[in-house]
Amino acid sequence: MSNTVPIQSSVTPGVVLKTKFVLPGSDAFQNYIEYVDREEAKSEVKLKPKMFETYQDYMGNPEKTSALFTEHANRLSESEKKSLKEMFKTAHENGSIMWQDVISFHNPWLEEQGIYDSKTKTLDEKKLMDVTRLAMKEMQKREGIEKSST
């Protein structure tokens, strides 16, 4: 019989994905449509507490993300934002469920991947967007929704 005590270690995930499903009749769906169409400057204005869910608050925080991006664009023009808003409205009218995904990254993991430099506090946003796109594409494939999500 061994008197060895097992060593406990702490494991911190490098990436955490949190998903929320929003039903089409909910206020959160309409709020998201309004969020997509908001002016960038409004993110600095104090908003009504219940207007946005945590996801929208997070995405509107300029320290957390620089801008809305899609599968094909790193930044969206006003017309692209309007088109995206129309797509959300159509999905809402068709009774579609909206998936809200928040991806969080652990800075040491980002540094190991060459995406973040802790010394200069710089983030390679393009690389992070590209990796996020790949992850979302893979998730859609595994869920069997890659054709319906575009």
| Domain membership flag for residue 1 | no
86 to each of 43, 69, 92, 94, 141, how far by Cα in Å?
Answer: 21, 16, 10, 12, 24
Give the whole-angstrom CA distance, residue 14 versus residue 105. Answer: 6
- How much is the pLDDT for 62? 52
Residue 83: pLDDT band (50, 70, 90) is confident
| Domain membership flag for residue 9 | no
Residue 2 scores a pLDDT above 80:
no
Kindly report whether the global pTM for this prediction surpasses the value 0.85.
no
Residue 144 scores a pLDDT above 70:
yes
Please count the other Cβ atoms lying within 10 Å of the Cβ belonging to residue 56: 20
| Domain membership flag for residue 6 | no
| Domain membership flag for residue 109 | yes
In the chain, the number of structural domains is 1
pLDDT tens for 9-67 read 778 899 998 888 888 778 777 777 666 656 543 443 344 444 334 444 444 455 555 56
The range of the structural domain enclosing residue 43 comes to 15-143
| Domain membership flag for residue 148 | no
Element (H, E) at 125: helix 125-143
| Domain membership flag for residue 10 | no
